[in-house]
DNA sequence: TTGTAGGCGTTATCAC
DNA sequence: GTGATAACGCCTACAA
């Protein structure tokens, strides 16, 4: 059932049917009704491929993230998808993994689908951080369509970034730890992405401003797996620390488990701060104090901006968003 | 840059270019090389809309789930997406929510994109369970393209279901509880979907076979939110139970938190079994015994079958998959 | 092995 | 207000 069939059944031309489909004002109410009736009857749906061919758009946005199974990304994708629907857009999802080659491949492949814009979720898509991160593939994509980074930062025309102020958030978290008497604060992470660099910078700034030394032994980069973190901490018998700032809630839970295993009480003997304010934080016993990087806000802002750009409006290329520290039971301030 | 441009630059006809693009054997190696060189030089990419129009396919699969922010679905979507990529397919994601109207709308909208097949994730897409669940919208979709349900079950032509054997899994879990001396087993759930019905049936069968009564007071349906579950259980002061079978790990964690709050020791005073073997299970303290419903297996089987159907092969309409009980620290068997 | 021409189902630009 | 008709870019018989 195509536009010709409808036209014939309704006794009009395909041009008129097309106008009705697109709700053009240049059609009389009478014929509009008539055509609509025929369309209903035959439950006609315009062919999106043909329409795409003509308009060079299928109202589709590409979303790439390293891994949707990750809770943070899953939340982000859920939020993005929901908001895009609100604007009548569909989304194509691509999980790229974290390797440079795979990320490039992902962008390459998704671009072939002639999406209207591209959203990249996560700080793995950033100019700095991980060693040797070329972001040319992102700039290349931005030559064709607008690219939006969530929690990433890449310089370039037609590239727009919304990111949380991780430096400041880490600074404030560590400052509170110090103010409550902590001296040896373990910085626990699982990668060296852009956002981790920012968190570390905030951590160091707080130490320095309070006259505390920045010690290499108090920075640990581990695989993000609860038992693994616990076991590694248990095995580092000479490592002394009275508190932890983790760059992810999963790592923080590992630290909490370590405390349990070692018989330390929380927060008295060990204070722990996580990051992302995920469901881990509430699942954890005791419940985890965690930095909320307002993922939903980042996502909804991004989509709102995306729609503006698609409509030709101008928006700022970089928008930092504040984090908030959600205090629960693993800290005593 | 379209097929005509390439043809002209390479000094051949568009038909030849098309053949090269599709790697047809009916082209000489020489011209193949020549055309490929020109394509590379101009980094030509065939227009997927035009191709879609001709072939009536854009190699795209639709995935609908109620909510990707849910860990179980996020894992499923990650797995589906990954496997689809392996076959060269893209996927469009739609989060439908749990309401009937929204689910119908989701299927309607995604069908307009002329996807090659539809995958529905979650037992909310099932014929039975939730009251008044009409599944006509699913059968309607299956008239046009094959539909694949993961953990759902709907009768109909061109509908294929892969689901975990929840009745059996619940039966076995409860049997083990009983064998280890538990008498009052709380069935904790958050909905009345098809999979919950199956789990409850297994729970009841185990009770009956062991001569224990099926008590309404020992079936609780609560909002799936850890603190909420804990608080409700704390408030039910007259409710006596020595163990819990939860239909989701989140609920189980709530039960564990309840035990902590009440000073009960786990598993001595209270044994707890969760469901899905999610990250909650490992995050929980003590770590949660949980039924693993092998989500990844369901997903990869589904996609493998999907590809077979797309290629015209026959596959069974219903495939049950066994669950396994992962024993950890909240049970003493 | 290669080229020609028609079709896929729209949208848009003209006339009327 | 409505109707022809030419794009849009590709695939694929059918011819050569």
DSSP states along B92-141? EEEE--SSHHHHHHHHHHHHTTT-SEEEEESTTSSSSSSTT---HHHHHH
In 3-state terms, what secondary structure has residue B303? helix
What was the pLDDT predicted at A129?
A: 59
What was the pLDDT predicted at B61?
A: 98
In tens, the pLDDT along B209-260 reads 999 999 999 999 999 999 999 999 999 999 999 999 999 999 999 999 999 9
Where is B187: in which H helix or E strand? Answer: strand B185-189
* End-to-end Cα spacing for chain B: 68
Instruction: Please say whether the beta carbons of A65 and A96 come within 8 A.
Output: yes
Kindly report the number of other CB atoms within 10 A of residue A136's CB atom.
Answer: 10
Domain ranges for chain B, please list them.
3-55, 60-164+295-322, 166-294
- What is the C-alpha separation between B194 and B126, in angstroms, rounded? 6
Q: With a 7 Å cutoff on the CB, does A16 touch strand C?
A: no
Instruction: Please say whether the beta carbons of A36 and A77 come within 8 A.
Output: no
Token digits for B42? 């101009």
Tokens 């908030």: give the residue.
A324
- What is the C-alpha separation between B138 and B147, in angstroms, rounded? 8
Instruction: Please say whether the beta carbons of B74 and B82 come within 8 A.
Output: no
- What is the C-alpha separation between B67 and B98, in angstroms, rounded? 8
- Protein CA B26 to sugar C1' D16 (Å): 15
Is B56's CB within 8 Å of A69's CB? no
Is B58's CB within 8 Å of A50's CB? no
Is A283's CB within 8 Å of B253's CB? yes
> What DSSP string runs through A177-194?
HHHTT---EEEEES---H
Tokens 């949707």: give the residue.
A68
Q: Exposure of B187 by Cβ count < 10 A (0-12 exposed, 13-18 middle, 19+ buried)?
A: buried
Using CB atoms, which residue from A52, A69, A253 is nearest to B74? A69
What is the Cα gyration radius of chain A?
Answer: 25
- What is the C-alpha separation between A4 and A49, in angstroms, rounded? 16
Q: Could you read off the pLDDT tens digit of each residue along chain A, which spans 333 residues?
A: 999 999 999 999 999 999 999 999 999 999 999 999 999 999 999 999 999 999 999 999 999 999 999 999 999 999 999 999 999 999 999 999 999 999 999 999 999 999 999 999 999 999 875 555 689 999 999 999 999 999 999 999 999 999 999 999 999 999 999 999 999 999 999 999 999 999 999 999 999 999 999 999 999 999 999 999 999 999 999 999 999 999 999 999 999 999 999 999 999 999 999 999 999 999 999 999 999 999 999 999 999 999 999 999 999 999 999 999 999 999 999
Please tell me which residue of chain A has the smallest CA distance to B259.
A285
Is B78's CB within 8 Å of A67's CB? yes
Residue B192 Cα, gap to closest chain A Cα (Å): 23
Question: Superfamily assignment of B3-55 in CATH?
Answer: lambda repressor-like DNA-binding domains (1.10.260.40)
Pick the CATH number of B166-294 from 3.90.1580.10, 3.40.50.2300, 2.40.50.140, 3.40.50.1360: 3.40.50.2300
A60-164+295-322: what fold? Rossmann fold (3.40.50)
Residue A282 Cα, gap to closest chain B Cα (Å): 7
Residues in chain B: 333
Domains A3-55 and A60-164+295-322 share a fold: no
What was the pLDDT predicted at A70?
A: 95
Token digits for A232? 């590694």
Token digits for B180? 């280890």
> What DSSP string runs through B247-271?
SSHHHHHHHHHHHHHHT--TTTT-E
Q: What pTM value is reported for the model?
A: 0.96
Please tell me which residue of chain A has the smallest CA distance to B257.
A285
- What is the C-alpha separation between B240 and A73, in angstroms, rounded? 40
């Amino acid at each position: 059932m195509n536009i010709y069939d409808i036209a014939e059944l309704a006794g009009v031309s395909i041009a008129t049917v097309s106008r009705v489909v697109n709700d053009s004002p240049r059609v009389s109410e009478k014929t509009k009704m008539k055509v609509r009736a025929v369309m209903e009857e035959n439950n006609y749906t315009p062919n999106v491929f043909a329409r795409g061919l003509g308009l060079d758009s299928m109202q589709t946005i590409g979303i790439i993230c390293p891994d949707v199974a990750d809770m943070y990304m899953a939340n982000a994708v859920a939020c993005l998808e929901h908001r895009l629907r609100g604007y009548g857009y569909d989304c194509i999802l691509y999980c790229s993994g974290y390797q440079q080659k795979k990320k490039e491949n992902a962008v390459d492949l998704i671009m072939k689908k002639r999406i209207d814009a591209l959203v990249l979720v996560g700080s793995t898509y950033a100019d700095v951080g991980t060693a040797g991160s070329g972001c040319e593939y992102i700039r290349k994509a931005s030559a064709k369509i607008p690219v939006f980074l969530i929690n990433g930062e890449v310089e370039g025309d037609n590239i727009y970034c919304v990111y949380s102020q991780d430096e400041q958030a880490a600074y404030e978290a560590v400052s509170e730890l110090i103010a409550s008497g902590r001296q040896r604060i373990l910085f626990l992470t699982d990668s060296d992405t852009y956002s981790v660099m920012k968190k570390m910078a905030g951590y160091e700034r707080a130490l320095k401003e309070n006259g505390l030394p920045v010690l290499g032994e108090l920075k640990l980069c581990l695989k993000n797996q609860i038992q693994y973190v616990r076991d590694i901490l248990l095995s580092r018998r000479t490592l002394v620390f009275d508190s932890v700032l983790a760059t992810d809630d999963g790592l923080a839970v590992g630290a909490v488990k370590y405390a349990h295993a070692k018989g330390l009480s929380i927060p008295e003997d060990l204070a722990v701060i996580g990051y992302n304010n995920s469901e881990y934080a509430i699942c954890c016993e005791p419940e985890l104090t965690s930095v909320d990087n307002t993922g939903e806000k980042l996502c909804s802002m991004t989509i709102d901006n995306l729609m503006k750009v698609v409509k030709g409006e101008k928006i700022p290329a970089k928008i930092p968003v504040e984090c908030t520290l959600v205090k629960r039971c693993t800290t005593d301030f």
